[in-house]
Amino acid sequence: MARFSIICMLLIFAAWPGAVSAQSIDMLWNEVQAPPAPALEQAAPDPATTALLVLDIEQLTCNPERRPRCLETVPRIASLIDKARAVKMPVIYSLTPRGALETILDPVKPQAGEHIVSSSVDKFWNTDLEKILKAKGVTTVIITGTAAHGAVLRTATAAEFRKLKVILPVDCLSAADLYTEQATVQLLLTGPGTRNAIILTRSDMLVFASK
C-alpha cells in the first residue's frame, strides 16, 4: 500500500505543470536579482539592558590579505565602543579558537574587566556568553564584527533563540566581498530565526542616551 502511494505521488508530480522543466539554482544563477535595499532605522536602546558585542576583530580574521573590508569597519566599531562605555553599556568580545587577547586589533582592545569569550561561529556555543548577558540583565544585543556570514549570522540567530532582541549596524559587519555581506543582511532580515527580532541600522543612527 505504501509503495502504491509513493508511485501515485511520483506520477502526480511528473504530471504537474512545469515539473519537468523546473531548473535548479545553478542553471538560473545569472537571472537572480538582489532585493531592494532594506530600510534602516534609528535605534536608541536602553544602555541598562543592552550589550555591545564585538566579534572576532583580531589579526587572523581582520587583515588586508584575508578580509580588507573588515579593516574599514574598525574605526566605526571603535566609535561604538567609546559611546557604549560612556553610558556604562557592557562591551563583550569574542575570539576565534586560535585568537588571544593580544591578537585583538588595537583600536578595539578590551579594557580591564570586559568579558571575552572564545568559540567558533556561534559565540553562545560552549561559552559563558548567555550567563554573562543574563547576569547583566541584558535583553538586547548590538552585534558587530566579522565574518558576516559566520560569527555575525550565527550569533545573531542564537541570540534570537534565547529571546534577545538584535540590533545590527550594517556598516559594522564585514566579509571578504560585498555579495556575502548583502546576503547576510538579507538572511537576518528575512530568516525565520531572526526576522521578528532584528533591527537594521547604521552606527551613526544609534543613540546611546545615559539616564
Query: What is the per-residue pLDDT across 19-67, written as a single tens digit (0 to 9) for each?
Result: 545 789 899 999 989 899 999 999 999 999 999 999 999 999 999 999 9
98 in a structural domain: yes
pLDDT of residue 73: 98
Please tell me which residue, 16 or 85, carries the higher pLDDT value. Answer: 85
CATH value at residue 78: 3.40.50.850
Number of domains in the chain: 1
pLDDT at 18 over 70: no
105 in a structural domain: yes
pLDDT at 157 over 80: yes
Cα angle, residue 147 at apex, residues 121 and 184 outer, rounded to 5°: 95
pTM here is: 0.88
17 in a structural domain: no
81 in a structural domain: yes
**How high does pLDDT run on average in the chain?**
91
In the chain, pLDDT over 90 holds for what percent of residues?
82
**What number of other Cβ atoms are within 10 A of residue 7's Cβ?**
10
3 in a structural domain: no
- Residue 149 CA neighbour count, 13 Å, CB half: 12
Location of C-alpha cell 574587566:
113
The domain in which residue 201 lies consists of 44-205
143 in a structural domain: yes
Tell me the C-alpha to C-alpha distance, in Å, between residue 128 and each of 125, 132, 150. Answer: 8, 6, 19
> Which range (34-38, 89-93, 117-121) has the least confidence?
34-38
Q: Is 141 helix (H, G, I), strand (E, B) or coil?
A: strand
125 in a structural domain: yes
